[in-house]
A and B are shown apart, each in its own frame.
Chain A
Amino acid sequence: MSSPQSGSLARATPAPDGATDRKEDLDRSRLVGLRALAIRYGIAALLAVGALLASLGIQHLFDFPYPFLFLFFGAVMVSAWIGGMGAGLFAVLLSTLFVDYFFVPPFYSWQISTTAETYFLAFVVCALVAGWISSARKRSEVALEEARNQLEIKVSERTAALMQTQAELARLSRVLSMGELTASIAHEISQPLTAVVTNGDACLQWLSASPPNLEKARQSTEKIVQDGTRAGAVVGRIRALFKKEEPIKDWVNVNETIEELVGFLRHEASSRHISIRTQLLASIPLLKADRVQLQQVVLNLVMNAMDALTETPAKQREIVITSSTPGEREILVAVEDCGPGLNPETVDKIFDPFFTTKPQGIGVGLSISRSIIESHEGLLWASPNPNGGATFQFTLPIDRQEPQ
């Protein structure tokens, strides 16, 4: 209720200024309109005069018995095309006058001999028709162009909306899967905090000794700073995963991205008696990619792998994450589990949105992962392992130029 009122108020207050502004605007637009009109009619006049001069020239130079009247049709058509129906009619009018004066007997007079009447009438009608056709063509062309532009605008609007929805959904699924990791995250934060508190106690103890052990106290304080920084970094990484932000592509070390995420997952994994092993290529090229989105993909794949291992005997539960550069042009990341493998009946659907085999799942993890990888111009697919279990792997193209 309040916003329209305040809106009208806001509009009412600067009335004098607004009025002069609007008047000036109006004047300016009228001026622009007049100029455009003058140009359109000027072109029509020029074309008609041009056609006249050309016809006269040809007639005199080559001693041609019949005038080149089609030049006038051309002038009419071009005028109508450029200036619309009005300019076309103006060109018809001028052409008619010129033809009547110069080319219709008796020559050099406005009179028309009875023999030339039909001929002259036919010329006028043809000129009118030519102008009409030309301007109609032009109108439809303009309409088509406008429709096309509007379609383009609509498509880009819809695409933007879809991208936004997708980003929102991706964040939601990220938050949901991070929610499953609260215990792990709490552990990640508690560890450095424990070190901070304990080193703080130790520092006080060293200081209260007699004589105070200043060297030990200094060392303890240094450790406090290190551990505090570590805790801050953990919080920063978690915040990055929860943040509502547009994807940003930057130079990313895939291995670091994986290691960081595995840090979050390690305790969740150990509570499920799963060991996560990483085999990462030592010197991996950097990629232009969105770090958080890549972590989300790896998170989804590892969480799926962990869920696949619930029925596996505790001693065999293992997930292997590897990174490699098989074709030199792309990086391949694979998440391998030793669970029951892929069900041949549903394997075609696992990447479909809202398809899930988990009782609590919403079925967006893999479809979002695939769209993230595809937005990075890579591929994501699943394949069965030769000795049971499944491997989910994705490729990412390596950019040719690397940062310094």
Chain B
Amino acid sequence: MKERPTIFVVDDDEPVRKALGNLLESVGFEVQVFGSTEQFRRAELPDKPSCLILDVRFPGANGLDFQQSLHQAGIHVPIIFITAHGDVPMASRALRAGAVEFLMKPFPKDELLGAINQALERDRVRRSQDEELSALQSRFRELTSREREVLELVASGLTNKEIGKQLGISEVTTKMHRGQVMRKMNATSLAELVRMSDKLKAADFR
């Protein structure tokens, strides 16, 4: 394990959140516990894999609504819901909105740890994807506007000749631009360049 992941616990019941803190600490996680969603929002989230264990019901607030508001705020920490009296609609709503797991209290340790590992794995994948994307984006920003046009047309499957014709430049110049794009984007093959372009486009749509 490269970094010790952090687990956040948000539960309004003090003995329960302390017990969860105790258990997670005993299996080697770093734990931060909060009594309310507001406290969690005020906390600074570390730049490493983490997940959130969240009680569904709070006095005056609702864990499901909080999940939505986190999503809207662009905080993509994976969530494991815990509840003492959940029902099927509640669980399905949580899972549809991207929750990792929906556990009924009291739950066996293995179920919780399994869910945590799954959540952390998901967070790791998301984090590495994010890293890759931001690297791609910074490389993309180094391209000149002509090079971006060339990339776009290459990715749409046109030949050098066709690109040159469309942009009103010679085939040799096109080839030169294309070489620059490949170099700047750190692509080893045409196929890889196309995949990068797709990823960048998808990120724009996000």
Residues of A within 8 A of B (CB): 183, 186-187, 190-199, 201-202, 205-206, 209, 213, 216, 219-220, 223, 226-227, 230, 266-267, 269-271, 275
Residues of B within 8 A of A (CB): 13, 15-16, 18-20, 22-23, 25-27, 57-60, 62, 82, 84-85, 105-109
A230 to B14, CA, bound (A): 12
Is B23 a contact of A226 with CB atoms below 8 Å? no
CA distance A196 to B27 in the complex (A): 17
Given known pairs A194-B106, A196-B106, the reply for A201 and B23 (CB within 8 Å) is: yes
A223 to B13, CA, bound (A): 14
A183-B85 in contact given A202-B19, A270-B57 (Cβ < 8 Å): yes
Q: Cβ of B58 and Cβ of A186 under 8 Å apart?
A: no
Neighbour of B15 across the interface among A183, A226, A266, CB < 8 A: A226
Interface contact A271-B57, CB-CB below 8 Å: yes
**CB-based nearest B residue for A318:** B60
Find out whether the CB atom of B85 lies under 8 angstroms from the CB atom of A195. Answer: no
The CA of A198 and the CA of B27, in the complex, are separated in Å by 12
Known A195-B13, A266-B59; further 4 A-B contacts with Cβ < 8 A: A190-B85, A190-B105, A194-B107, A213-B26
The CA of A223 and the CA of B106, in the complex, are separated in Å by: 16
Complex contact B15–A230 (CB within 8 A): yes
State the 10 A-B residue pairs at the shortest beta-carbon distance, nearest first.
A190-B84, A205-B26, A198-B19, A201-B109, A202-B23, A194-B106, A187-B84, A194-B105, A195-B19, A195-B15
Query: Chain B's nearest CB lies how many Å from the CB of A151?
Result: 55
The CA-CA distance from A337 to B58 in the complex, in Å, is 21
Enumerate chain A residues within 8 angstroms of B26, measured Cβ to Cβ. Answer: 201-202, 205-206, 209, 213, 216, 220
Structural contact, B23 and A199, CB atoms closer than 8 A: yes
How far apart sit A216 and B18, CA to CA, in the bound complex (Å)? 13
Closest Cβ–Cβ distance, residue B102 to chain A (whole Å):
15
Q: Which of A193, A202, A206, A266 contacts B106 (CB 8 A)?
A: A193
Q: Are A186 and B106 in contact (CB under 8 A)?
A: no
Q: Which chain A positions have C-beta within 8 A of B105?
A: 190-191, 193-194
When the two chains form their complex, are residues B27 and A205 in contact, meaning their CB atoms are under 8 A apart? Answer: yes
Q: Are A195 and B16 in contact (CB under 8 A)?
A: yes
A193 to B26, CA, bound (A): 19
A191 contacts B15, C-beta separation under 8 Å: yes
Residue of A whose beta carbon sits closest to that of B59: A270
Q: A183-B85, A186-B84, A194-B105 are in contact. Are A199 and B19 (CB under 8 A)?
A: yes
Q: For the complex, what is the distance from the CA of A269 to the CA of B16, rounded to whole Å?
A: 20
- The answer to whether A270 and B58 touch (CB under 8 A), given A198-B20, A198-B106, A205-B27, is yes
Q: What separation, in Å, do the CA atoms of A118 and B85 have in the docked complex?
A: 105
User: Contacting B19 at CB < 8 Å: which of A190, A216, A223, A271?
Assistant: A223
| Minimum C-beta distance from A218 to chain B (A) | 12
User: How many whole Å from A271's CB to the nearest CB in chain B?
Assistant: 7
Residues of A within 8 A of B22 (CB): 198-199, 202, 216, 219-220, 223
Q: Provide the bound-state CA to CA distance between A78 and B8, in Å.
A: 98
How far apart are B82's CB and chain A's nearest CB, in angstroms?
Answer: 8
Complexed CA–CA distance, A38 and B18 (Å): 88
B127 to A: closest C-beta gap in Å: 27
| A–B Cβ pairs within 8 angstroms, 5 of them | A190-B84, A197-B106, A220-B22, A223-B22, A266-B59
Q: Is the CB of B60 within 8 A of A275?
A: yes
Bound form: Cα–Cα A187–B19 in Å: 17
Most chain B beta-carbon neighbours within 10 Å: one of A196, A266, A270:
A270
